[in-house]
């Protein structure tokens, strides 16, 4: 099996290299050569799939003839955790990334789409080149198929901290997210190289960018959930360099998705979009450098390896190359229309992009502060959480304000009088938000500001839906709310993602400002009153399981007079590693989490516990799932617009394409690009016309 | 004012406020990042300063309270060890020889008074050989949740920390 794996790895290296050469060198001009390049790509992907299946089989059957399996699995480990060892080690995680990229590249190549073939072939060639780079690292530096020198009986096993359900899905999801970000990057570079800088590449890149954003976002959220439930990792977010490494491309990608909309709808922000595409993918490579270079002050122990530096060199080369291409094509990247008013969607997108990039910059500086300060000051300095939290406050408020106002703003022009009235009314009515939480006892200015913006976001979204529904029937808009939402599915899917963000902000704000904790020692049968609850320690439950010894403290809790419930915080002794882990017990409601930690014994029949109240945590996790549903709705293929389903938007004079007078100089080809609503497929049915019928 | 000017002004305001908040947060919460040897070399000059020390727990020095709210140990250095005392929740996987990060201040006696103790992830991206070799020997001083004796636990105690009774 080792031989099959190593042979397949070599085949993947050669085949992906050939496919990259054909794709980039323009093999598509000659049909036969172009086909051979695609065939090589398919062979490369198949070979890499073979390598992955060989490793999966070896992990499941505990084949310790593989050095990788012997290092990360053991005979006692359940098969599902043994499978998760696939992405625990250096070589395995590289294989997972390469395999994800290979499958994504194949899906991209054969996905039915309208974008032109040469652009797709060139982008596919670039993806194959990146795949060849990843496979080369495995062939020459980190071989997952390496045989053991001597076959051990049991294997070294997996750290108990990594034996968590989130470990089964969190790392692969993050790697798939990184792999998906490669597609918009490849399309942008292909568009820059070929000069096809029209809206087609943007339309082709947008679903891939949105998929990457959703997948990476869920991966980060699952990582937070895992850290929240495992002690010693600093809660759901600790601003650790490795955590920052995955969040930075996601933030840049958030700006990119909005920028792509600006380009698609108004032909603006073109340079910003291309640079953001390069920056986002560059940051994915930087995250890999962070985790594998061993030079950063991180919780995660990484061996020092030259592999990280290879990713840094690659990132710098790709970024420099991308910037050179942007400079060369700068005349073709001018805006089709100037931003005419600050009260428009493109203006809000521009300011939000700036805010997101400032946050990324602050995180980057904080992350590299140790080596950077060592070079500049001769002393190694690191920043704590206050630095990041302080930066986050103004940026979160600005993003929340943008999110709140977006539904009643328009591309390229000021809001209509009705929209302006609705905006003003919602902003005034939203005062109910801070008043409500003031009554509940919240006095923090940030909490009050967030409450106002959250209330405004909800009211503005409702107003937008009503105004859209009023196009169907101005007298009874409430009968057409669903119709309006379905008619503008992509728009409302985007707003659903915004709602997810709002929910996430509520969770982060609540848990940051309102957390309380208390250490207690309880004797069997003894009760304590805390935070409106009565907590009674019933007793200790001990049991043996095949791979561990379990000790659970049973707690009976009555919550503010409501029906009681029981929690069992525990400690496990994992026998293979002879290591204790603490398993927290959580009662989660919409108002907050009651989080209990069992520390240890304090004499016979007495235990030491920590009780924690984390308000609004469920809003944080729910925000992620709401955003995921929104992204899926936005990604769902659009059928040809039905004329009966769509009310017409009246085309104002300002929206019309200005006629080009004879002899007039054209600034750039982009100036000829019409806004999307002039295209027949996306034109909208007039309400007035329907009413007249 | 033209739209472009307004946008530039708004951008400048956002950038200025963010930079100011970063400065305030950074100046309130920065710390020296040191190894044990660097800490020893700078000695008295670090008294009272916030420091974040990265090192390994020296063998035979780890003592964790039964309720796992206090830990005492020495961080291994090439010239000498740095004594440390940490409060707050003690990570489960804290064992001797393990790489840890301690945030705190040096007191007058040269003891690192940590307010935060973080263990580094044991296996990701590195082989388990080193961690496994030290795991069984270094569990001394860890505490368990349990207090009563039982046959099952007696069996467990053969492989478990000393404090399991």
* pLDDT tens-place string over residues A512-543: 888 888 888 899 999 999 988 899 999 989 88
> Does some domain include residue B97?
yes
Q: What was the pLDDT predicted at B136?
A: 33
Which residues on neighbouring strands pair with residue A558, listed in sequence order? Answer: A534
Q: What was the pLDDT predicted at A333?
A: 87
Is-contact A290 A241, C-beta < 8 A?
yes
Q: Are residues B77 and B142 in the same domain?
A: no
Name the residue with higher pLDDT: A681 or A617: A617
Q: Are residues B42 and B115 in the same domain?
A: yes
Nearest CA in chain B to A294: B125
Q: What was the pLDDT predicted at B78?
A: 80
Alpha helices in A67-198 (DSSP H): 67-72, 79-84, 90-110, 117-140, 165-194
Q: What is the pLDDT of residues A48-85, one digit of tens each?
A: 999 999 999 999 888 888 888 888 888 777 888 888 88
Confidence band, pLDDT 50/70/90 cuts, at residue A561 = low
Cα dihedral angle (A49, A54, A56, A62), rounded to 10 degrees?
A: -170
d(CA A74, CA A63): 10
> Does some domain include residue B137?
yes
Task: Decide the pairing of beta strands B82-87 and B112-119.
Answer: parallel
| B31 contacts in chain A (CB < 8 Å) | 381-384
For the cut 60, the answer to whether the pLDDT of residue A377 exceeds it is yes
Q: What was the pLDDT predicted at A293?
A: 67
Is-contact A141 A60, C-beta < 8 A?
no
CA distance B61 to chain A (A): 18
Is-contact A243 A223, C-beta < 8 A?
yes
DSSP string covering A382-403: EE-HHHHHHHHHHHHHHHHHHH
Q: What was the pLDDT predicted at A161?
A: 66
Confidence band, pLDDT 50/70/90 cuts, at residue A391 = very high
Half-sphere exposure of A108 (CA within 13 A, CB side): 37
Identify the helix (H) or strand (E) that includes residue A601.
strand A592-601
Q: What was the pLDDT predicted at B146?
A: 39
- Contact with chain B for residue A515, Cβ under 8 A: no
Number of Cβ within a 10 Å radius of residue A320:
12
Q: What was the pLDDT predicted at A658?
A: 45
- Contact with chain B for residue A388, Cβ under 8 A: yes
Identify the helix (H) or strand (E) that includes residue A362.
helix A345-367
Chain-centroid distance of CA A472 in Å reads 36
Confidence band, pLDDT 50/70/90 cuts, at residue A563 = confident
| A359 contacts in chain B (CB < 8 Å) | 18
Interchain contact, B3 vs A521, CB within 8 Å: no
CA distance A139 to chain B (A): 17
Q: Are residues B114 and B45 in the same domain?
A: yes
Query: Mapped to the 3 state alphabet, what secondary structure does A112-130 carry?
Result: CCCCCHHHHHHHHHHHHHH
Q: What is the pLDDT of residues B83-137, one digit of tens each?
A: 999 987 677 778 888 888 888 988 888 889 998 887 766 444 443 333 333 333 3
For range A647-658, the mean pLDDT: 48
Give percent helix, percent strand, percent coil of chain A, each to the nearest 5: 65, 10, 25
d(CA A290, CA A313): 13
Q: What was the pLDDT predicted at A455?
A: 96
Collapsed DSSP state (helix, strand, coil) of residue A289: helix
> Does some domain include residue B164?
no
Collapsed DSSP state (helix, strand, coil) of residue A534: strand
Confidence band, pLDDT 50/70/90 cuts, at residue A546 = confident
Nearest CA in chain A to B10: A351
d(CA B45, CA A241): 28
- Contact with chain A for residue B7, Cβ under 8 A: yes
Is-contact B128 B93, C-beta < 8 A?
no
Q: Are residues B68 and B104 in the same domain?
A: yes
For residues A179-214, b (16+ Cβ closer than 10 Å) or e, as one string? bbbbbbbbbbbbbbbbebbbbbbbbbbbbbbbbbbb
> Does some domain include residue B96?
yes
- Contact with chain A for residue B120, Cβ under 8 A: yes
Collapsed DSSP state (helix, strand, coil) of residue A530: strand
d(CA A378, CA A294): 19
Which of A104, A132, A107, A112 has its CA nearest to residue A24?
Answer: A132
Q: What was the pLDDT predicted at A74?
A: 80
Percent of chain A with pLDDT over 90: 47
> Does some domain include residue B154?
yes
d(CA A466, CA A454): 19
d(CA A244, CA A252): 12
For the cut 50, the answer to whether the pLDDT of residue B22 exceeds it is yes
d(CA A252, CA A279): 7
∠A470-A458-B7 over CA atoms, to 5°?
95
Number of Cβ within a 10 Å radius of residue A424:
11
Interchain contact, B125 vs A602, CB within 8 Å: no
Chain-centroid distance of CA A307 in Å reads 24
| A351 contacts in chain B (CB < 8 Å) | 7, 10-11, 14
In this structure, what token pair is assigned to residue A470?
């009023």
d(CA A492, CA A485): 6
Q: Are residues B35 and B115 in the same domain?
A: yes
Q: Are residues B52 and B77 in the same domain?
A: yes
Q: Are residues B2 and B39 in the same domain?
A: no
Half-sphere exposure of A104 (CA within 13 A, CB side): 30
Collapsed DSSP state (helix, strand, coil) of residue A545: strand
> Does some domain include residue B165?
no
DSSP string covering chain B: --HHHHHHHHHHHHHHHHHHHHHHHHHHSEEEEEEHHHHHHHGGGGBT-EEEEEEEBPTT--EE-TTSSEEEEEE--SS--EEEEEESPPPTT--TT-EEEEEEEE-TTS-EEEEEEEEPBSSTTS-SHHHHHHHTGGGTT---S--S--HHHHHHHTTS-TT--
Stretch among A236-240, A410-414, B56-60, B141-145 having the lowest mean pLDDT: B141-145
Interchain contact, B145 vs A601, CB within 8 Å: yes
Name the residue with higher pLDDT: A644 or A448: A448
- Contact with chain A for residue B45, Cβ under 8 A: no
Mean pLDDT over each residue of chain A, to the nearest integer = 84
Interchain contact, B22 vs A379, CB within 8 Å: no
For residues B32-71, b (16+ Cβ closer than 10 Å) or e, as one string? bbbbbebbbebeeebeeebbbbbbbbbbebbebbbbbbeb
Interchain contact, B32 vs A395, CB within 8 Å: no
Burial of A146 (0-12, 13-18, 19+ CB in 10 A): middle
For range A8-14, the mean pLDDT: 94
Nearest CA in chain B to A581: B92
For the cut 80, the answer to whether the pLDDT of residue A122 exceeds it is yes
Q: What was the pLDDT predicted at A397?
A: 94
d(CA A423, CA A417): 10
Strand positions, DSSP E, A524-584:
527-530, 533-545, 548-559, 565-567, 570-574, 579-583
CA distance A103 to chain B (A): 24
Strand positions, DSSP E, A450-515:
none
Nearest Cβ partner for A398 among B14, B126, B143: B14
Q: What is the pLDDT of residues A289-326, one digit of tens each?
A: 887 766 665 655 455 567 778 888 888 998 999 999 99
For the cut 90, the answer to whether the pLDDT of residue A501 exceeds it is yes
Collapsed DSSP state (helix, strand, coil) of residue A26: coil
Q: What was the pLDDT predicted at A640?
A: 52
- Contact with chain A for residue B29, Cβ under 8 A: yes
Chain B stretch 126-145, residues whose beta carbon is closer than 8 A to a beta carbon of chain A: 126-129, 131-132, 135-136, 139, 142-145
Task: Decide the pairing of beta strands A585-588 and A533-545.
Answer: unpaired
For the cut 50, the answer to whether the pLDDT of residue A690 exceeds it is no
Collapsed DSSP state (helix, strand, coil) of residue A549: strand
Q: Are residues B76 and B107 in the same domain?
A: yes
Interface test with A, best of B92, B116, B133 (most A CBs within 10 A): B92
Interchain contact, B32 vs A580, CB within 8 Å: no
For range A229-235, the mean pLDDT: 64
Interchain contact, A390 vs B99, CB within 8 Å: no
Q: Are residues B114 and B48 in the same domain?
A: yes
d(CA A675, CA A655): 8
d(CA A57, CA A107): 25
Is-contact A205 A238, C-beta < 8 A?
no
Collapsed DSSP state (helix, strand, coil) of residue A541: strand
Q: Are residues B59 and B102 in the same domain?
A: yes
Containing domain of residue B5, as a range? 1-29
For range A41-48, the mean pLDDT: 93
Task: Decide the pairing of beta strands B82-87 and B99-106.
Answer: unpaired
Stretch among A203-207, A446-450, B7-11, B119-123 having the lowest mean pLDDT: B119-123
d(CA A455, CA A386): 27
Nearest CA in chain A to B133: A156
Is-contact B68 B89, C-beta < 8 A?
yes
Mean pLDDT is highest, among A17-31, A333-347, A665-679, B83-97, for A333-347
Q: Are residues B43 and B108 in the same domain?
A: yes
d(CA A379, CA A463): 55
CA distance B66 to chain A (A): 6
Q: What was the pLDDT predicted at A609?
A: 87
Question: How many structural domains is chain B composed of?
Answer: 3
DSSP secondary-structure letter at A162? G
d(CA A629, CA B46): 52
pTM: 0.84
Name the residue with higher pLDDT: A188 or A241: A188
> Does some domain include residue B99?
yes
For the cut 70, the answer to whether the pLDDT of residue A356 exceeds it is yes
Q: Angle, to 10 degrees, between the axis of helix A199-229 and the axis of helix A617-635?
A: 150
> Does some domain include residue B14?
yes
- Contacts by A424-429 with C-beta closer than 8 Å and gap 24+? A425/A459, A425/A463, A426/A456, A426/A459, A426/A460, A426/A463, A427/A456, A429/A455, A429/A459
Q: Are residues B62 and B42 in the same domain?
A: yes
For range A358-374, the mean pLDDT: 92
Percent of chain A with pLDDT over 70: 86
């Amino acid at each position: 099996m080792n031989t099959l794996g190593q042979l397949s790895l070599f085949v993947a290296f050669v085949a992906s290299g050939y496919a990259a050469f054909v794709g980039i060198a323009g093999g598509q001009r000659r049909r036969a050569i172009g086909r051979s390049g695609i065939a090589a790509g398919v062979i490369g992907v198949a070979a890499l799939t073979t390598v992955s299946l060989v490793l999966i089989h070896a992990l499941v059957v505990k084949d310790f003839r593989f050095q990788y399996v012997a290092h990360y699995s053991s005979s006692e480990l359940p098969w599902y955790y043994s499978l998760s060892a696939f992405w625990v080690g250096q070589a395995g995680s590289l294989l997972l990334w390469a395999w994800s990229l290979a499958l994504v590249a194949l899906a991209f190549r054969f996905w039915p789409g309208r974008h032109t073939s040469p652009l797709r072939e060139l982008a596919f060639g670039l993806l194959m080149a990146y795949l060849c780079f990843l496979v080369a690292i495995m062939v020459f530096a980190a071989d997952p198929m390496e045989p053991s020198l001597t076959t051990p009986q049991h294997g070294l096993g997996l750290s108990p901290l990594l034996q968590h359900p989130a470990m089964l899905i969190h790392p692969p999801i993050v790697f798939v997210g990184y792999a998906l970000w490669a597609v918009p990057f490849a399309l942008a570079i292909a568009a820059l190289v070929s000069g096809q800088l029209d809206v087609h590449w943007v339309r082709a890149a947008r679903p891939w960018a949105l998929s990457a954003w959703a997948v990476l976002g869920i991966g980060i959220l699952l990582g937070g959930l895992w850290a929240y439930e495992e002690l010693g990792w600093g809660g759901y977010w600790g601003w650790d360099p490795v955590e920052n490494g995955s969040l930075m491309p996601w933030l840049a990608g958030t700006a990119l998705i909005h920028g792509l909309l600006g380009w698609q709808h108004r032909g603006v922000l073109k340079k910003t979009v291309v640079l953001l595409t390069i920056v986002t993918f560059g940051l994915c490579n930087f995250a890999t450098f962070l985790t594998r270079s061993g030079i950063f002050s991180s919780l995660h122990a990484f061996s020092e390896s030259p592999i990280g530096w290879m990713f840094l060199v690659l990132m710098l080369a790709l970024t420099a190359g991308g910037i050179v291409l942007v400079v060369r094509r700068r005349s073709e990247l001018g805006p089709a229309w100037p931003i005419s008013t600050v009260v428009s969607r493109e203006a809000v997108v521009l300011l939000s992009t700036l805010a997101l990039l400032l946050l990324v910059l602050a995180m980057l500086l904080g992350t590299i502060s140790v080596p950077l300060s060592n070079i500049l000051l001769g002393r190694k300095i690191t920043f704590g959480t206050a630095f990041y939290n302080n930066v986050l406050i103004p940026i979160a408020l600005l993003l929340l304000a943008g999110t709140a106002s977006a539904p009643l703003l328009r591309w390229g022009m000021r809001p209509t009088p009705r929209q302006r009235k609705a905006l003003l009314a919602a902003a005034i009515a939203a005062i109910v938000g801070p008043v409500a939480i003031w009554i509940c006892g919240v006095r923090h200015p940030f909490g009050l500001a967030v409450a106002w913006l959250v209330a405004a976001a909800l009211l503005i979204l409702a107003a937008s839906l009503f105004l859209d529904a009023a196009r169907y029937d101005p007298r009874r808009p409430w009968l057409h709310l669903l119709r309006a939402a379905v008619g503008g599915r992509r728009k409302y899917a985007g707003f659903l993602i915004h709602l997810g963000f709002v929910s996430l902000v509520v969770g982060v704000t609540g848990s940051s400002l309102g957390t309380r904790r208390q250490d207690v020692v309880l004797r069997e049968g003894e009760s304590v009153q805390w935070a409106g609850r009565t907590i009674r320690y019933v007793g200790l439950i001990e049991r043996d399981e095949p791979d561990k010894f379990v000790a659970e403290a049973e707690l009976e809790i009555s919550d503010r007079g409501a029906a009681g419930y029981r929690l069992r915080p525990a400690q496990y002794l994992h026998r293979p590693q002879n290591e204790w882990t603490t398993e927290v017990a959580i009662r989660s409601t919409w108002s907050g989490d009651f989080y209990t930690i069992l520390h240890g014994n304090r004499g016979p029949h007495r235990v030491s516990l920590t009780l924690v109240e984390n308000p609004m945590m469920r809003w944080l996790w729910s925000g992620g799932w709401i955003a995921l549903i929104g992204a899926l709705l936005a990604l769902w293929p659009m059928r040809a617009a039905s004329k009966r389903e769509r009310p017409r938007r009246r085309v104002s004079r300002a929206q019309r394409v200005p006629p080009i007078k004879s002899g007039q100089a054209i600034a750039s080809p982009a100036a000829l690009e019409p806004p999307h609503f002039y295209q027949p497929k996306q034109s909208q049915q007039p309400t007035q016309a329907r009413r007249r019928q | 004012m033209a739209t472009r000017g307004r946008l530039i002004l708004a951008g400048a305001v956002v950038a200025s406020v963010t930079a100011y908040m970063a400065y305030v947060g950074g100046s309130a919460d920065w710390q020296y990042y040191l190894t044990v040897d660097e800490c020893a070399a700078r000695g008295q000059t670090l008294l009272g300063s916030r420091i974040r020390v990265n090192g390994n727990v020296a063998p035979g020095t780890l003592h964790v309270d039964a309720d796992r709210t206090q830990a005492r140990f020495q961080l291994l250095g090439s010239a000498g060890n740095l004594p440390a005392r940490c409060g707050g929740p003690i990570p489960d996987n804290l064992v001797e020889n393990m790489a840890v990060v301690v945030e705190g201040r040096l007191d007058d006696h040269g003891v690192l008074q940590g307010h935060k103790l973080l263990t580094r992830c044991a296996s990701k991206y590195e082989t388990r050989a080193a961690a496994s070799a030290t795991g069984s020997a270094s569990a001394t001083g860890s505490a368990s949740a349990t207090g009563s004796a039982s046959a099952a636990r007696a069996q467990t105690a053969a492989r478990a920390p000393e404090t399991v009774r």
